[in-house]
C-alpha cells in the first residue's frame, strides 16, 4: 500500500504576518494551514504577542508607501527593519519579501542576486536594512511592482481611474516587471525548499507603467487613453529606479508573464 509523503511545507506550523495586505492575502490562500495575522492581531513594530510561536514565519507585513517613506523614514524603518527583527525573534525560519527598489536603476540589463544594492530613497533603504535584519535563517525574496485583487495597488487604481476618466497620465520612463501576488505566493512554496539566501522572483517580461496601464485598460475593456509622461512631470516625492527588472542567476522559480498575471487578477476581480 502506498503512503502519501508528508509535504515539508504544509506539515510546519506556519504563521503569516501582514495578512490584511495584498501579498498576505495571497499567502493565506496559498498556505491555508497557516495562522494568518493581520495588523490588528500583531502590529509587528511591537514584539510578538505572548505565547505566539511558529516553525515557519511568512513575514509579509511591510511599509509599502514609497513616497510616504520619504516623509516619515522613521516609521517606515520601524515596520520594515524593526518589524523584521521582531518576526525573526520568534526563532523560526523566515521568508521576507524585499523589493527591486534596493537598486538604483542605472543598469539596462536585469538585476541579478549578485548585483550590489544601491537604493535611491528611504523606502529602498529600509527594505535593504530589513533584509539584513532577517538573519541567517531566512529566504529573502526580492520582487517588483506587486498587484492583486485586494488592497491598494496600481492595477486597482487604474481600474478606478479608467472608469472615471477618458484619459490618464502615466509614467513611461520607469521599466520593471509587474508581478501578480497569486503567482508570487505559489512560488514561495518552492523557495522554502531551497537554501537560505536572496532570490529574485518577479514576473516574466517587462514594461513601463504606461505600458502596464494600457494593458489593464485593454484587458478590462475600458476605452481610456494613456498619456505618457516622464517621472519628472509626475513629480513624485521619492526617487525611483528607471530600470529595475529582476532575474535570477540562482535558479529561482520562473513566474508567468506579467500579462498572464494581469488576466488572472482580472478574472479574480470579476468573480
Tell me the catalytic residues. 123
Alpha-carbon torsion angle 67, 71, 77, 78, nearest 10: -120
Q: Which cell numbers hold the place of 24?
A: 498576505
Please report the sign of the dihedral spanned by the C-alpha atoms of residue 142, residue 261, residue 87, residue 137: negative
Three cell numbers, residue 230: 516622464
Cell of 147: 498587484
Angle at the Cα of 183 from the Cα atoms of 182 and 185, rounded to 5 degrees: 65
Amino acid at each position: 500500500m502506498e503512503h502519501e509523503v508528508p509535504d515539508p511545507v504544509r506539515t510546519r506550523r506556519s504563521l503569516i504576518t501582514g495578512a490584511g495586505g495584498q501579498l498576505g492575502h495571497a499567502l493565506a490562500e496559498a498556505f491555508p494551514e497557516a495562522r494568518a495575522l493581520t495588523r490588528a492581531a500583531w502590529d509587528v513594530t511591537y514584539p510578538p504577542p505572548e505565547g505566539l510561536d511558529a516553525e515557519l514565519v511568512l513575514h509579509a507585513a511591510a511599509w509599502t508607501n514609497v513616497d510616504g517613506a520619504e516623509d516619515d523614514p522613521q516609521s517606515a524603518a520601524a515596520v520594515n527593519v524593526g518589524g523584521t527583527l521582531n518576526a525573526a525573534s520568534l526563532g523560526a525560519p523566515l521568508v521576507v519579501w524585499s523589493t527591486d527598489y534596493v537598486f538604483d536603476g542605472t543598469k539596462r540589463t536585469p538585476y541579478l542576486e549578485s548585483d550590489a544594492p544601491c537604493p535611491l530613497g528611504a523606502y529602498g533603504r529600509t527594505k535593504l536594512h530589513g533584509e539584513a535584519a532577517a538573519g541567517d535563517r531566512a529566504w529573502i525574496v526580492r520582487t517588483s511592482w506587486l498587484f492583486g485583487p485586494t488592497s491598494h495597488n496600481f492595477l486597482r487604481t487604474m481600474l478606478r481611474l479608467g472608469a472615471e476618466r477618458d484619459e490618464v497620465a502615466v509614467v513611461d520612463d520607469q521599466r520593471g516587471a509587474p508581478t501578480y501576488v497569486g503567482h508570487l505566493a505559489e512560488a514561495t512554496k518552492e523557495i522554502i525548499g531551497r537554501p537560505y539566501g536572496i532570490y529574485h522572483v518577479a514576473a516574466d517580461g517587462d514594461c513601463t507603467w504606461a505600458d502596464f496601464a494600457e494593458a489593464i485598460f485593454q484587458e478590462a475593456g475600458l476605452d481610456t487613453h494613456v498619456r505618457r509622461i516622464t517621472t519628472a512631470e509626475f513629480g513624485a516625492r521619492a526617487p525611483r529606479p528607471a530600470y529595475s527588472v529582476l532575474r535570477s542567476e540562482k535558479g529561482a522559480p520562473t513566474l508567468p508573464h506579467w500579462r498572464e498575471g494581469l488576466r488572472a487578477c482580472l478574472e479574480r476581480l470579476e468573480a
